Amino acid sequence: MQRILLNIADVCERSRVNGPGLRSVVWVQGCTIGCPGCFNPHTHPHRPMRLTDPKDLALHLLQIPDTDGITISGGEPFEQAEACVLLAQAIQNGGRTVVVFTGYRFEVLAASRLAAVQRFLASIDLLIAGPYIQSLHGDGSRWRGSSNQTVHALTDRYRDELEDAVSTTPLVEIATDGASQMETGFPDEDDRRWIDKITGAVPTSITVEAPRKERTKRCLNPIDPS
C-alpha cells in the first residue's frame, strides 16, 4: 500500500492569530486557486517541499503543551485531502481541535463526490471557506481575510464561543529566533508598513502580537516561545 505523505511549506508550533486560542499551524504546499494578493504566494506551486508522514506530524504537535489544537492552512488543504484527513483525525483523537482555511467555497466542498473531501470535512471543527478577494480585504474578524469568506462551525466545539473569541484575537503576529522570521495573520497595507518598521527593532527569540486597533501604539506583547 502506498504511503500517504503530506507536503508542507512550514509549521508554527504556537500561534494566536490563526483561529481560536493558542494553536499550532501547518501550512501545506500547493494551491491551484492562486488568489491575487494572497499573503502566502510561496505556498502556491505544487512542488515537493517537506514531505511528512501526517500521523508523525500529529504526534509531534500533540506533544506541544497548552495548545487548543491545530490550524491547517496553505496552500490549499483540500488539494491534499487524503493526507490532511490523517493529520486532522489524529489531532481530534488526541483531544484537540482542527481549524482549516480553504480557498474553496463551502457549498463546493459539501457537494463534492470525492470521498477524501467528505472525510476531511467530517474531521474539521471550524472551517473558514472561500477565495481571498483583494478588493474585499476585511479587518480579520472571524479570521476572514476578505469579507466574502464564510465561517462554519462543523462541530459543537466552537459553535457557542465564536463571538467572544473573535473580539480578543490579535490580527498580526511576528516571530523571530534571530536567524529567521515568520509573519502571519491578516495584515492590510498599513499593517505591512507597520511590520516593516517594527521588525528592525524586534529582539531575538520573541513573538509579537498586535490587534489592529492598537497598531499605532507600541505593541510588544511577548508570549512564551518555548
The CATH number for 66's domain is 3.20.20.70
The verdict on 96 and 208 lying in the same domain is no
Report the alpha-carbon distance of residue 67 to residue 25 in Å, rounded. Answer: 11
The verdict on 178 and 156 lying in the same domain is no
Domain assignment present for residue 188? The answer is: yes
Domain assignment present for residue 187? The answer is: yes
Domain assignment present for residue 221? The answer is: no
The verdict on 191 and 97 lying in the same domain is no
The verdict on 48 and 73 lying in the same domain is yes
What is the pairing mode between strands 69-73 and 97-102?
parallel
115-104-92-30 Cα dihedral, nearest 10 degrees: 90
pLDDT grade for 24, boundaries at 50, 70 and 90: very high
Q: Which domain holds residue 159?
A: 6-167
Check pLDDT > 90 for residue 137. no
| Average pLDDT score over residue span 30-54 | 93
Domain count of the fold of the chain: 2
Of 161, 175, 114, 166, which is closest to residue 139 (Cα–Cα)?
166
Cell of 76: 490549499
Enter the pTM of the model. Answer: 0.76
More confident residue, 157 or 131: 131
Domain assignment present for residue 63? The answer is: yes
